[in-house]
Amino acid sequence: MENLPLKRSGIKIWVIVALFLTSPAKLSAQFFDALVPGEVVVQHAGSIGFFSVGAGYRVFKNKRGNVDMNYGFVPASKGGPLHILSAKFAYRPFEIRIKDWATIYPANPGAFVSYHFGKEFDFYWDKSQYEKGYYWWSSAIRPHLSLSNEVKLHGKKIVRGEKIKSITLYSEFNTNELYLVSFFQNHGDLSMRDVFKLGIGVRVGF
């Protein structure tokens, strides 16, 4: 009985390996193509660094979904040093086209997860130090909810460049589960303005 989970995971690994070996070369080329981001992202603040840089991917058939992978840094002079990785997702339900030179995405709901590096931030609380459930949250992993708005400037009209397809300016509000718990527990004594934090950024599409 004790071996069973091990056996199962063993089988899983072989299935994945078999898939890679037997799949046509074209498929894996597509797979690696998909890893090349469509956008480069630079963000200021927004709870994932004083500045963060990352790669942006358009997802879904209608290209309305967005996944960003960012690395952020907070220098000592701004309350750090902190090193943060974040994986962000957002969806654009609304778009307003302004002729052929710009598109506004007025409200894009999203969610992201941030991870803080460093020994003071615990992924799992040390079992020798704390009983299970002593602190219920993780100090390293922070889930966030976000709402952003974007103005996308279409490259041909704006920069007349061949390589740059678009330049997008955005602002993004986010909160995290710890702020939200505080907000709901103290109804009326903390405001939305207290718990939502701002970030601004640029994404350049290629």
Partner 1 sequence: MVKNIICVLLVLALFFVACNELEYSPNQAFDNDTPRDLNNKNIKRLLETEGDDTIRFVLSGDSQREYSNSKALVSAVNKMKGIDFLFLAGDISDFGLVQEMEWIDDIFSRLQVPYIGVIGNHDMVANGERAYRRMFGDFNFSFIYKGVKFVCHNTNSREKAFDGTIPNLPWLKEQMSYEEGVNAYVTVAHVPPGNEDFDNSVKDEYIDVLNSSPNTLAALYAHTHREDLFYPGAGKIPYIVTDAIEHRQFVLVEISNGKLTFETIRY
Structure tokens at 181: 């718990």
Judged by CB under 8 A, how many residues of this single chain contact partner 1? 55
If one asks whether residue 106 binds partner 1 (CB under 8 A), the answer comes out as yes
- Residue with the two structure tokens 């004083």: 50
Question: How far, in Å, are 59, 70, 123, 202 from residue 119 at the CA level?
Answer: 34, 21, 10, 31
Shortest distance, position 177 Cβ to partner 1, whole Å: 10
**Positive or negative CA dihedral for 174, 143, 202, 149?**
negative
Q: Which residue number, 37 or 199, has a Cβ lying nearer to partner 1?
A: 199
Q: How far is the CB of 35 from partner 1 (least distance, A)?
A: 27
Selected binder of partner 1 within 55, 102, 141, 164 (CB under 8 A)? 102
How far is 125 from 131, CA to CA, in rounded Å?
Answer: 9
Which among 143, 86, 85 has a CA at the least distance from the CA of 117? 85
Q: Is 56 exposed, middle or buried (0-12, 13-18, 19+ CB in 10 A)?
A: buried
| Of positions 113, 137, 141, 164, contacts partner 1 by CB under 8 A | 137
Residue 100 near partner 1 by CB under 8 A: no
Where does this chain touch partner 1 (CB under 8 A) — which range of 5-13, 54-62, 115-123, 159-167? 115-123
Q: Distance between CA 104 and CA 113 in Å, rounded?
A: 25
Task: Report the interface residues with partner 1, using CB under 8 A.
Answer: 44-50, 72, 74, 78-80, 82, 84, 98-99, 102, 104, 106, 114, 116, 120-122, 126, 128-130, 135, 137, 139, 142, 149, 151, 169, 171, 173, 176, 178-179, 181-182, 185-190, 193-194, 196-200
